[in-house]
Amino acid sequence: MSEQTALRGVFPREHRGIVLRPLDAGDAEEYAEGTRDPEVARFAHLPLPEYTPDTVRRLAAWDVPKGFDSGDLAVLSIVDADGGGFLGSLVLFDITGHQAELGFWLAPGARGRGVAVRAVAAAVSSARALGLTALVARTAEDNRASQRTLAAAGFTRTGDPEETTVPSGQRAVTLRYRLDLEEHGQH
Ligand SMILES: CC(C)(COP(=O)(O)OP(=O)(O)OC[C@H]1O[C@@H](n2cnc3c(N)ncnc32)[C@H](O)[C@@H]1OP(=O)(O)O)[C@@H](O)C(=O)NCCC(=O)NCCS
């Protein structure tokens, strides 16, 4: 199966009350608003310095289908399975045949009720469906919420803090996390 078919076959994906689906133009206002939250601005290391509703509509029209076509990038929205309300963003990037990196943020009003853990669990189930053998993530040393989210979803920390280039293009000291997906496999 080609990567293109693989990504389009896996999303939208529902898991315990939330759905991961491709970012679309209808998310523009809420996505742009979410990126203005200070925690997102500080910790999410998003590729663009600023997101307006127009920027997000362009992402939805061009970058999202391009990522699905090439198979190396899934820009997803986290939405409520009951009503489809926008909750946040989850991106699988640098997808290879074996692994992908995970990034995520939630709108402030969606936090504190387990949405992030369920969204990451949905990403894990998607990664298994894609046949990946591992998911990785990076987080700032002082981002307790992200670290606890990753730990609750089964990720473990690997190695010491190190300076890496994050998706914004900046250098930042990050902790690396990893989840092997073959633990219960048959190899
Ligand atoms: C990180 C984030 C997605 C967590 O979302 P959330 O839905 O509130 O998280 P959950 O309710 O699923 O809780 C997940 C874990 O984080 C913990 N947590 C949540 N907010 C926390 C906070 N402010 N401080 C410390 N721990 C926190 C929860 O207690 C839970 O841990 P536990 O299972 O050990 O009790 C959200 O805070 C966010 O969007 N932050 C800004 C962007 C960001 O940091 N993204 C990650 C970049 S790597």
Residue with CA at minimum distance from ligand 1 atom 32 = 148
Report if residue 123 sits inside a domain: yes
Q: What is the pLDDT of residue 20?
A: 98
Number of domains in the chain: 1
Pocket test for ligand 1, best of 106, 124, 173 (most atoms within 8 A of CB): 106
pLDDT in tens, 90-114: 999 999 989 999 999 999 999 999 9
Q: Supply angle C-alpha 39, 42, 56, rounded to 5.
A: 80
CA of 112 to the centre of ligand 1 (A): 7
Q: What is the pLDDT of residue 182?
A: 83
Report if residue 185 sits inside a domain: no
- Say whether pLDDT at 3 is over 60: no
CA of 83 to the centre of ligand 1 (A): 23
Residue with CA at minimum distance from ligand 1 atom 18 = 145
Q: What is the pLDDT of residue 97?
A: 83
pLDDT in tens, 131-163: 999 999 999 999 999 999 999 999 999 989 999
CA of 92 to the centre of ligand 1 (A): 18
Report if residue 37 sits inside a domain: yes
What number does the ligand 1 atom closest to the CA of 151 have?
Answer: 34
Report if residue 117 sits inside a domain: yes
Whole-model pTM: value is 0.95
Find out whether 146 and 139 touch, Cβ atoms under 8 Å. yes
Closest CA relative to residue 179, chosen from 125, 142, 130, 105: 125
Q: Which DSSP helix (H) or strand (E) runs through 99?
A: strand 99-106
Q: What is the pLDDT of residue 38?
A: 96
pLDDT in tens, 155-183: 999 989 999 999 989 999 999 999 999 86
Residue ranges making up the domain that contains 14: 3-180
Locate 39 and state its tokens: 């925690």
Q: What is the pLDDT of residue 5?
A: 63
Residue with CA at minimum distance from ligand 1 atom 22 = 145
Q: What is the pLDDT of residue 184?
A: 55
Report if residue 7 sits inside a domain: yes
Which phi and psi (to 5°) does residue 72 adopt?
-110, 0
Report if residue 187 sits inside a domain: no
CATH number of the structural domain spanning residue 122: 3.40.630.30
Report if residue 186 sits inside a domain: no
CA of 68 to the centre of ligand 1 (A): 28
Q: What is the pLDDT of residue 2?
A: 52
Report if residue 137 sits inside a domain: yes
pLDDT in tens, 30-88: 999 999 999 999 999 999 999 999 999 999 999 999 999 999 999 999 999 999 999 99
Contacts for 89 with CB less than 8 Å, ≥ 6 apart? 23, 31, 34, 75, 76, 77, 78, 104, 105
